[in-house]
Structures are given as structure tokens and as C-alpha cells.
Structure 1
Amino acid sequence: MLLVLDIGNTNTVVGVYEDAKLLADWRLATDRLKTVDEYGILVKSLFSEAGLDHRRVESAIISSVVPPVTGLFAGMIEKYFGVRPREVGPGVKTGLVIKYENPREVGADRVVNAVAGIQLYGPPLVIIDFGTATTFCAIGAQGDYLGGSIAPGLGIISEALFIRTAKLPRVEIVRPRTVIGKNTVNSIQSGLFFGYIGMVESLITRIKAEMNCNPLVVATGGLAELIAGDTKMIDRINPYLTLEGLRLIYGMNQNA
């Protein structure tokens, strides 16, 4: 079995593959204060609950945008699963031509999503990852990574509004029934949700115009279904895009 981990600023997604089949996946809070042993006990218990034998894990791969946590998970995998994980980064084969001014600046999660998107859907693509930050990645017609945009995630905007105002409450991020709110909570939810939809649609429109083509727009990440359900500009939702990319990249580097 292959263990794959996508370590994000808010959540870490863990998946287990048997060949190309995803057997189980879990979303954990990314906690810099947890120890190797705490993560090990947690992940082993998840395997047990899913009826999986953790001793069958033969390999592992990690993508991470949180360097302090990367070592914790790598150490956990070595101690509790007995394998040394591969980490997506410089020197790892991806088959991706990155046209960033400095390719090393492109986050591992964006690289992994691009690899999966090209393999599953074919270029050209716009890939949107709704995580702590919302990233937009443009993949050209030849499969080149052209660049993209990075915006604050909906959760960050909501939290900033609560922290920086004296009387506005913290609210649940949901789709309100109307744009015109009839109370403070609904008004905040309207501004957050529909305002965010407007930002997403505007960036998609502008990215497509610069690409000078009509790419397929694919969404992934924790809020993908919520946002994509209210716009016609997102063509596909794939909650497992990053896990698939990790599986594919591991395969490219299996004999390296």
C-alpha cells in the first residue's frame, strides 16, 4: 500500500492507495504542537477503524507547505510504518515544465494538483484549490505550468473580519438564502459568500483571457463543493485531486 499525505496550513489530508485505488482518506487538523507519537497513534487508529493493516504500507510520499510539520509526519511514518517517505520538492520528477520566474517558489501542493489535472483531464486547465489560501493555477495547451494567482481563503477573510471589528460576530461559512441580509449574521454571510464567488469568477475570467483559450476549470480543496455549487464557471469538482497527484508523482519516481 502507498501512504500519501498533503500537509496544508489548516488541514492535512491522508490517503491510502492499493495500486490506483484509493482505499481510505482522512482530513486531520495540522497541529505544529503534536508530537511524532501523537500523530502515529492517531493515524494508526484511523487505519484500524477503516479495517486496514498499517503493516501493509510499503511506501509513502508527502507534499507540504508547512515545513515545521513536514518533519513530524516524516518521522511518524518512519517510526510507525517503517518506511522513509519521499517528499515532493526539488529533484523529484514531475514531468511538469514550470514557467515561473523561480520554479522553486511554486508550492508543492500546486505542483501536485497540476500533475493530477493534466493526467486526468488534459490541458489546457485552470485548477483552483480552495484551502487556507485559494490558489489558481494556469496550465497551458502544451501542459506547461504558466503561473497563477493566490488569494486569501474564505476562512481567513471571515476570521479577519471578526478580529478587526468591534461588534461583528464570527459566523459560519454557509450560503445564505438571499444576498440582502435581514440581520447582521446573514449580512456578513452574504458579503463573504457572494463576494467570494464574485472574486473567483473575476479571476477565472481574467486568467482565461490571458491564456487566450477556453481551459477546463477544475476545483479541489475543502470548500470546493460549497463554492462550485453557486457558479457555472467551474466545470469539475475533484476532492481527491491532490491525493491523485501524489500517487502519480510517486509512480514517476518509484525507481529513482
Structure 2
Amino acid sequence: MRTYLVVDIGNTSTSVGYYRHGKVSGVGRCPSRFKSLDEVVPLLGVRPVDGVVVASVVPPVNARWKKAFKAAGLPAPLFVSHELELGVPVDYPRPQRIGADRLANAAAAVRLLGMPSVVCDFGTALTFDILDPRRGYKGGIICPGLPLMFDYLAEKTALLPHVAPSKTKAVVGRNTEQAMQIGARLGYRGMVREILAALRADFGVAHLPVCCTGGYAGWIFKDWDVEAVIDSKLTLRGIGIIGELNA
């Protein structure tokens, strides 16, 4: 069995881990726009690997990362794109515009759940990727993420502060911060519920398997009646699956 270094380059931070036979381990994080190779090379050379597979949504930093892989003595990286074998067909008008992370999520979700299914990624943006049993990856839905919601309220109002998500179970806020946290949690749940209901109706099914990832997935789905598989390593897992399929 081959071992892959799997790298998910996001707008702010990058996740690095090791994939082997469906499992991801040794996950670390670093800035995507690192200034010195010394910041990332120690993270990359921890274990010997058979290949390096990268999903990047920040093309301007790709050359910088290639230098880091070379400095760490690693093989030339394979960058995820729609042109690779993904384990799922892509039926999309301009497939080159699909984020590499979303392609990786689709590859992992098909392996975990089959089709039809939906991937929800709770990051800076909240994305839904739709997997159809006849057409494969056919498109998605993009909504503002929780960080954008909180930042926008703070930036566009004079009195509302910057706050972070909270685990409060209250329904009515007793202060401004709590009111914002409740609004975000209940409002987000309402949005997710409505979108999933619309997708079930579009597929004509009573049950639609859902897989969630991203930093806020657990916060949204904890103690909720909406069934979903939560996998914090979903994107890295999908990157590794694509590496296997294209070995």
C-alpha cells in the first residue's frame, strides 16, 4: 500500500497529513502564504511517502509550495483538477472553475456514502456539493460562512462587536454577544435545513445522505435532529483517494 502526503491549501491556512489505505493521520497546519521555507519544511518531511497530492484554491502560492516540497526532498506533487480520475464523473459546464477542495470532498463522499449524496463544507464559505447517481458531480450551492456572518455584522454596524461561535443552548439572547451567537446558530440551521429539503425534493427522495466537514460542522450539527456524517478529515481523505486513483 502506498503512502501519500496530502495537502489542502486554503485561502488562509493549509492542512497537511498522511494518507494510507483510506486513513488520514499526522495532520498539521500552517499558513498558506508562508514567508520562509523553514516554516513548512519540518512539517513536510516527517515520514517517507510514495507521492504528494495537493488540492489548492490559491494558485498564486502553488509555485512557493512546489519549492517547499523540493526542499523537503519530496516527489513532484500531483495537483487535483477535474482532468484527473476522481472516482466520480463531472457534469459541469466549466469544470475548471470547481475548487480542488470541492472535487476532493466529492471523491471522499462517493467512497463513504455513494450517490446520491451531498457534501456540506463549513468553512469561510458554506458550500454544498451535489452528487447525482446518473451525472456524478453536477454542481453546488454556495452561502456565506459563519466567519463572514460575524465579521460582516461587526464591520457594517457601529455597535455590534466581533464574536466567535458559542455552545450556548439559549433561544433568547440576554446580551448582544449571546444574541448574535444564537442568531448565527439557529439561522444557519434553518438555512441548512431548507437547502437539504429542497435537494431531497429535487432528487425525489425521502432520505439524502449528507457528509459534513469544516471547522463549524460539529457546532452546527451537535444535538440536532438532522442526520449527517461529520468527517473533519474529509478533504484530506479525498485528496488521498484521488492520489490512489491516479497512481
TM-score, normalised by the number of residues in structure 2: 0.91
Q: Check the 8 A contact 1:116/1:245 in 2, yes or no.
A: yes
**Which residue matches 2:27?**
25
When residues 81 and 208 of structure 1 are mapped into structure 2, their CA distance, relative to the original with a 3 A threshold, is farther
Q: Deviations over 1:168-200 (max 9, x none)?
A: 111121132212101111111111121111111
Q: Deviations over 1:45-70 (max 9, x none)?
A: xx6xxxxx44x123100001111222
- Gapped regions of structure 1 (runs ≥ 5): 48-52
How far, CA to CA, are the matches of 1:80 and 1:137 in structure 2?
34
Q: Check the 8 A contact 1:124/1:143 in 2, yes or no.
A: no
Task: Return 11-20 or 210-219, whichever deviates more.
Answer: 11-20
RMSD: 1.8
Q: Deviations over 1:225-254 (max 9, x none)?
A: 111114322421111111111111111111
Q: 1:207 Cα deviation (Å)?
A: 1.7
Q: 1:77 Cα deviation (Å)?
A: 1.1
How far, CA to CA, are the matches of 2:183 and 2:211 in structure 1?
24
How far, CA to CA, are the matches of 1:143 and 1:27 in structure 2?
35
How far, CA to CA, are the matches of 1:28 and 1:198 in structure 2?
33
How far, CA to CA, are the matches of 2:109 and 2:21 in structure 1?
19
Tell me the secondary structure at the aligned position of residue 243 of structure 2. helix
Q: Check the 8 A contact 1:217/1:233 in 2, yes or no.
A: no
**Which residue matches 2:40?**
39
TM-score, normalised by the number of residues in structure 1: 0.88
Task: Return 154-163 or 85-94, whichever deviates more.
Answer: 85-94
**Which residue matches 1:50?**
none
Q: Check the 8 A contact 1:175/1:190 in 2, yes or no.
A: no
How far, CA to CA, are the matches of 1:210 and 1:92 in structure 2?
29
Query: Which has the bigger relative contact order, CA under 8 A and spacing at least 6?
Result: 2
Identity %: 35
Q: Check the 8 A contact 2:24/2:233 in 1, yes or no.
A: no
Q: Deviations over 1:21-64 (max 9, x none)?
A: 4331123343x2523342224x15xx6xxxxx44x123100001
Asked whether 1:244 is paired with 2:237, we answer yes
Question: Number of matched residues?
Answer: 244
Q: Check the 8 A contact 1:10/1:29 in 2, yes or no.
A: yes
- Gapped regions of structure 2 (runs ≥ 5): none
**Which residue matches 1:203?**
195
How far, CA to CA, are the matches of 1:110 and 1:198 in structure 2?
23
Task: Return 232-241 or 119-128, whichever deviates more.
Answer: 232-241
Asked whether 1:72 is paired with 2:73, we answer no
Asked whether 1:9 is paired with 2:11, we answer yes
